[in-house]
Amino acid sequence: MKIVLEVTFRMGGVSYRGYRWEDDVLVFEFERLGDAFIQVLSRRKVEEEVEREPSAVMVELKTKEGGKIFEAVREGDVYRAMEP
């Protein structure tokens, strides 16, 4: 099945690294590791073929300061999330 994720980040410089399963939760992995970023909303759309329906979809953003994990909300056929 195809999972479509649309994420809005608060700064540019985000790279998509892939996804992983944690039990039945699908976690999309992104990172922002540089020193200076444009302070502008940045949208990313990712589509992945996965083998099963997730119970939840999470977004993990790794940064030099640590990172954040936040949940995506299903809206029809698309999961949407915004960096807190």
Q: Within 10 A of 58 (CB to CB), how many other CB atoms are there? A: 19
Residue whose entry in the numeric block shows the structure tokens 């915004």 = 82
CA 8: distance to chain centroid? 9
**Per-residue pLDDT reduced to its tens digit, 54-83:** 999 999 999 988 999 999 999 999 999 999
Task: Delimit the domains of the chain by residue range.
Answer: 2-82
The pLDDT tens digits for 3-56 are 999 999 998 889 999 999 999 999 999 999 877 666 789 999 999 999 999 999
CA 7 → CA 23, 27, 67, 81, distances in Å? Answer: 22, 13, 15, 5
State the pTM of this model. Answer: 0.92
